[in-house]
Structure formats: C-alpha cells, structure tokens
Chains A and B, each alone.
Chain A
Amino acid sequence: MQTWNGFPLINDETPSDDLFNARDDKGVLFGRGYVERDFNVYPHEMFAPPTQMALIDPSEYDARIEEQERLESSMEHIYLGAPNQLPRFVNLDQASSNFCWNYSTVHTVMLARLRDNQPLVRLNPNASAIIIKQGRNEGGWCGLSAQWGREHGFAEEGTGEGQWPLHGMSLRYDTPALRASMAKYKITEDWVDMAQPVYGQNLTQRQLATCLLSNQPCAVDFDWWGHSVCAIRWVKVEAGSYGLLILNSWKGWGRHGLAVLQGSKMNTMGAICSRVVKAA
C-alpha cells in the first residue's frame, strides 16, 4: 500500500482487497457496519448544510496546515502527543462487530476530551450500539450514533457498576447506573445537518476542512467502504491535493489506527462534527 508521512494512503489506486479483507492479528475479518444506502428506502434529500459555520477559504488551507506543522498544533499532533510520537490512547477496536457507526462518533468524543485536557476515559461504543439496535449486531450511520450521543451520552468501558464490558453484546448491562454514567459523556454542541434524517446527515468538504483545521473531529461514513471512521485532520497530500487523516476502529491497523484517504475515497455519504462534549 502507498504511504504518506508514514500513514497508509488510500486512494483510487489502492487494491480493494487491502480494505475489504483486512484482518486482525488472529486472522479474523475486521467488522465495518455502515449501511449502504438503498435509495428506495432512504431517499435522497436536498442538502441543507449548517449555515452558521463560517468557512475557511480554500486559499488558506496551505498556510493553516503549515502553521499547524510549525507549532505542532493539529489534532494529529495532539493525538500522537505521548513520548516518541505514540498515541495518547490506543484506538478503539470494534473487532468483527458491525458497529463502526458508533465507534466513529465515540472516537470524536474521546478526541474532543483529549483536546480539552479532560481526564482520559476509555469509552465503549458497543453499549450505545447494542441499546439502539436492541441487542442486534447491525449497521447504521454516524448521524444515528451522534443523535444518541446528544440525547444520552456514551458508556465507559469496564466491568464496574455503570460500565459496559469490552465488546459486550448483551442488553443486561443496560442498567440505571449505566444510563447515569453515560450522561456524563454527552455531545453538547456539534455541527450536524439537523434538517436531514440520520442516514442523510452530511457535511460538505469545505465544512469538513473547516472543522478539521479547527481541531474538531468528525465522524465520517463512506458508501464505497461500507464503513464509518473518525476524521481527525485535513492534510495536504501533495500540491493542490488534500486528504482526510482518519482514525479507524480496527486494532493494529494503519499507523496507530491512522491512515489518509484521498481523491474519491474521501467523499463522505455522512458526516457529523462533535464540537463540544460535557466536561467530566
């Protein structure tokens, strides 16, 4: 696979096998879980973007990226801010589940907390996914998990009271204590196209670029990949060509879970930006 700055570079030349048949260190196929859009069921909607967002002009992208490099001030720098450029936390692992659409949004919450210097708390997207899907291992969209994050918040990973065990798939963990704990990890401000149904909430590339250049992580859905991941930075791959630095929810994949999407591979079918999360 091609690389850019040490990260896998995924573009139109990337063999599809590298993306659709990726496996973990035990040989198990990674799960994905974005529901490819059946337009008979989920019809196309007119796009009504969040209009309040002041957009960064594309002519400023290079200067802003250069400033981020000079001051090591991007979300990439913050995430890889542990000694020896290691990540401040290991990326979440959806294993073979179909819950990518929850992992992408929960990654945005963990990254926003990291940016704000909130205590590191490992969250567990399986909880919200299992509750939303009533115990079924089903796909969805980042707009759906973001809606849950606004209304209920996300669960801590763990086996204590009010926590959800790693990769737990049982509704029996859904207790009043869990719900009380989830409320500490709500999304309180975000950029979402609220005029659209959850499967159609998307951001334009200029909106995505503005959010990412402002260190506001975004959950992004890709129809071509059948997958949802977290975008953490708007990067310049080469002169005149930009890409999305993404954090995947596959254990051991990419460089610390990170890779770059370029060209048509960065065209989103869904996107939300978690701007502010509750302090706890």
Chain B
Amino acid sequence: MKRIACVLIAWLVLTGLASAQISILGETKVEPNKLVRLKAAGATPKAGLVWRVYPPNVDKATTGKGLLEFVAAPGAYRVELLAITLAPDGETVTAEAAANVVVGGDPKPDPKPPEPGPGPKPDPAPIPDAGFRVLMIYETAEVQSLPPAQSSVLFSKQVRDYLDKKCAVGRDGKTREWRIWDKDIDTAGESKAWQAAMGRKRDAVPWIVISNGSTGFEGPLPANVADALALLKKYGGE
C-alpha cells in the first residue's frame, strides 16, 4: 500500500492495566482539517468509557459509545481512555490506555506536562532560609483541566504527609513550611521568604519550587505523584 501514513491502522501506545487490557485503535497521523477517529477496543460492553484529550482545546464530535472523533489545530495530542466497570463485589475497576496523535505536519512540542528533567537549574537554593521548603503554584481556575494524575500531586495524602514530615517548622511553631498556592495569591501577609519565593521567575504553571537551604529545584510540576515524590526526596531525603 502506498498511502503509508494515512492508512496505517496501528495499536497505539498502551498503558493499560494488566488486569483489564484495553486499547485505542486509530490513525496515528492525521492531515490538517481532517477528523481524528479513534476507537476503544477490549472494553466490556457495559463498561463506562471516558475519553480525555490534552491539550483540551479540540472540537469533539458527538459519537457513539466507544468512539472519539475530534478536529484540532496542527500539533501533538495525548489521548487517554478510561474504562470503568463494576466488579461482582460492587467495587469499580478502572482500566486505562493512552495514545499520542499528531495532526498536521511537524508537531508542536509534546503536550504532556514536562517531566522534571535536567533543564531547570538545581543551584543555588531558591529559598535561602535554612531547612526544607516547598512551594507549588497553579491556576485554581484551570486545575480541572490539568491531567488528573498531575492535579493529584497538589492534593494527595502521600505528598502532603511527606511534606509534613520533612519541611521546616514555620514562624508559628506549628505549620510546616510548604504551600500550595494559586499563581495570583496575595502574599502580603506572609513571611518575606514566601513572598520572595512566590516572586521568583517561572516559565509556566503548574510549577514547583523546592529548597533545602543549600540547593534546590525550580521547574514544572511533575506529572504524577510518584514522580513528585522522587523529586522531593532528591532534595528532602527519604
């Protein structure tokens, strides 16, 4: 077949759970102004299916169960599929699959939340005060549009427990020195250290600032709780 790119039907990138394997079928590369057509495979007929596209600025068509169709500007898109079923004991079971789709010619940068990598500068400490301090910054008006795995970093018990255990104690003698703030929060009533941390240059939100008084990290918020904990432990210890 000569129309190599257009007719290639492939199993796309899968991250499905071992216990309930589902997948996304469809074309990996779609020409500009053409419909992206994806199909769920492997889900039981009674499963509830949830499609998510990141970034979310695409026009979805109304389609039948198990289908996702959308039109989007040229670029790279990550599509996630959740299949939710009820187990015999009444518990819900979720299976996941994901695919990367490119619309048009050269894709724009990967829409996935950037992984904490070697790019951002590790040194010197972004908050000069002694002790472990962490600041996460996000836009509260748009938190619902973040990938749920990433927004969970802001709220998960595992992350909060770690910060409660490792962070320095604040000026009231009780509150641990970590904050999770909206990007536009008014910090006039906070300490100079937090005001300075909030005033540091950042390239985007959600963002994280980690400091142990001698070194630290500033960069995009990790994509999930496991990555966040690994990054925190690098500067705050186990």
A interface residue numbers (CB < 8 A to B): 52-57, 59-60, 62-64, 66-68, 71-74, 77-78, 81, 115-120, 184, 186, 188-189, 210, 213-216, 239, 275-276, 278-280
Contact = CB atoms under 8 A, between A and B. Distances in A.
16 contacts: A56-B144, A60-B50, A60-B52, A63-B50, A66-B92, A77-B157, A81-B157, A115-B155, A119-B170, A120-B175, A188-B186, A275-B141, A276-B140, A276-B182, A276-B184, A279-B181
A153 to B, nearest CB: 10
Interface in B141-169: 141-145, 148-149, 151-152, 154-158, 160, 163
Contacts of B170: 119
Nearest to A56: B144
Contacts of B157: 71-73, 77, 81
Contact of B92 (A62, A74, A184): A62
Contacts, number: 114
B86 interface: yes
Given A71-B157, A214-B144, A116 B50 contact: no
Contacts of B56: 54
B96 to A, nearest CB: 9
Contact of A54 (B145, B149, B155, B187): B145
Contacts of B180: 115-117
B217 interface: no
B185 A276 contact: yes
Contacts of A71: 152, 155-158, 225
Contacts of B176: 117
A119 B175 contact: yes
B70 interface: no
A72 B156 contact: yes
Contacts of A186: 186
Nearest to B224: A71
Contacts of A275: 140-141, 182
Interface residues of B, number: 46
Nearest to A65: B92
Given A66-B94, A81-B157, A117-B179, A189 B140 contact: yes
Contacts of B203: none
A64 B178 CA distance: 25
Contact of A117 (B140, B178, B189, B225): B178
Contacts of B82: 63
A71 B178 CA distance: 19
A276 to B, nearest CB: 4
A116 B48 contact: no
Given A78-B160, A280-B190, 16 more contacts: A56-B144, A62-B92, A63-B84, A68-B155, A71-B158, A72-B157, A77-B157, A81-B160, A118-B179, A119-B175, A120-B175, A188-B184, A189-B140, A189-B182, A189-B184, A278-B186
A208 B190 CA distance: 30
Contacts of A278: 185-186, 188-189
B172 interface: yes
A211 to B, nearest CB: 9
A116 B190 CA distance: 13
A56 B194 CA distance: 32
B175 A279 contact: no
Contact of B185 (A55, A117, A188): A188
Nearest to B134: A117
A275 B143 CA distance: 11
B192 interface: no
Interface centre among A116, A120, A239 (most CB of B within 10 A): A116
